[in-house]
Amino acid sequence: MRDIPFLVIIDNLENEKDWWDKRVIMDLLPHFGGETHFIITTRLPHVLNLEPMKLSYLSGAEAMTLMKGGVKDYPLLEIDALKTIEEKLGRLTLGLSIVGAILSELPITPTRLLDTLNRTPPIRDFSCNEREILSLKNHEILVRLLDVCLSIFDHADGPRSLATRMVQVCGWFSPSAVPFHMLALAAHKVPKKHRRGPRWRKWWRTLTCGLATSRMKRSEAEAAAMLMRFGIARCTSKPEHVQFHDLIRLYARKRGGPRTAQAVVQSVYLQGSIKYSPEHLWASCFMVFGFGSDPLLVELRPSELILFVKQIVVPLAIHTFITYSRCNAALELLRLCTDAIERAAESMLAHAGKWRDASYSCFRPAQSEAQYTYLWQELALLKASVLETRAKLMLRGGQYDIGDDLIRKAIFIRTSICGEHHPDTVSARETLSKLTRLLTTVQLS
């Protein structure tokens, strides 16, 4: 990279140290003096012991041009209204562009828009941390402006507008670009707030879902196009992807709440891909398992957890370990996954005890307990599989003693459920033999 001219842009640098392994940014950059150039944007007072070059705000004329949209001339009264909106937004370019989009897309005047913003109630119930609370309060007029946009979407498409729900779920994806289909699937997974309808409606939707597939694809593109026209989302270099500003993502997390986080996790393990969307896979893992001081946001049912671990967690950990050599991140992910499986199994055992206590007083189908037992065994075998994966990664990393302990636990589980001669048990014993041989070699050397 030293002799090849590249332009590397690091946008909105928040900290000079990586939050995971505490490496400074200089460790991630090549030595200076080559043909490669770097542009770093940040709000930090100093970066790399250098004082950043401060960029000036938009001028009043530039802000007015951005807000006018497609209208060239306004009466003096309307210009005064635009200046008031500009002052309330603090010349934030994101808000100014949304104002311009609204005035271009709708037959509405600046005075009427200002009156609507003044009558829109602010968010009062803040359930986020202090930093997020301060960020939303500092941009209260932007929050009201986003509320107006979602009201416009609902008015155009009816209640539960797809565009509105796509905004509500966007905050739980990673900050990178989101594919249309994954964003729309998460939007469709958002549960309704009111009571469920009759069961026949669910059956009817199931029977007719094939007929609506082509229309759903068109509506995904149309909803994404609407978000881009109003400045809520922006297009990216990837086709059929959109990206959202951090303030909009924060607003979406507040507006949607935990129920939208559950919908995002479901969409990720149904349509996520390690090749095309690894960042969103990691975001879903953060919500399900939590890392460090982050709380658990999504609790999956045992059947969902099994699918999530098999399709997302284990392949993602192996890919991260082998492809990017992020060994600590991959092993920590598998450790948290093991803890989650153990909690799910313990919860099932507790419920099974309640079922037995209640079986004397009420009718319980016999097959329900059998299904419960089968699901618990699937969780136990899944734990053994994760333990074996951890042991194999420890083997590659040279931590033979830890790997030996993990693989022995996996062998015990598989022997108890599947028997000694099951192929999975035999495979785990072969891994144990390798670890024992290597461990003995290290101890003798």
Give the tokens for residue 217.
């694809």
Phi, psi (rounded to 5 degrees) for 124: -110, -35
Position 196 scores a pLDDT of 45
CA 249, CA 168: separation in Å to the nearest integer? 8
pLDDT digits (tens, 9 = 90+) for 309-344: 999 999 999 999 999 888 889 999 999 999 999 999
Give the tokens for residue 88.
């309330």
Maximum average pLDDT range among 30-39, 74-83, 194-203: 74-83
Arithmetic mean of pLDDT, 191-199: 55
DSSP H or E run through 132: helix 130-138
Angle at alpha carbon of residue 105, lines to 103 and 111, rounded to 5°? 25
Position 338 scores a pLDDT of 97
Is residue 111 situated within a structural domain?
no
Do both 274 and 322 map to the same domain?
no
pLDDT digits (tens, 9 = 90+) for 206-215: 433 433 444 4
Is residue 269 situated within a structural domain?
yes
pLDDT digits (tens, 9 = 90+) for 221-259: 899 999 999 999 999 989 999 999 989 999 999 888 888
- Report the domain count for the chain: 3
pLDDT band of residue 360 (cuts 50, 70, 90) is very low
Do both 288 and 167 map to the same domain?
yes
Do both 189 and 323 map to the same domain?
no
pLDDT digits (tens, 9 = 90+) for 65-98: 888 866 668 899 999 999 999 999 988 899 999 9
Maximum average pLDDT range among 20-34, 38-52, 322-336: 322-336
Contacts of 104 (CB under 8 A, 6+ apart): 69, 70, 71
* pLDDT surpassing 60 at residue 407: yes
Domain range spanning residue 161? 152-194+218-299
Do both 285 and 345 map to the same domain?
no
Give me the half-sphere count of Cα atoms (radius 13 Å) on the Cβ side of residue 272. Answer: 29
Domain finish residue from 251, 277, 299: 299
Position 200 scores a pLDDT of 30
Is residue 62 situated within a structural domain?
no
CA 286, CA 308: separation in Å to the nearest integer? 13
Do both 285 and 317 map to the same domain?
no
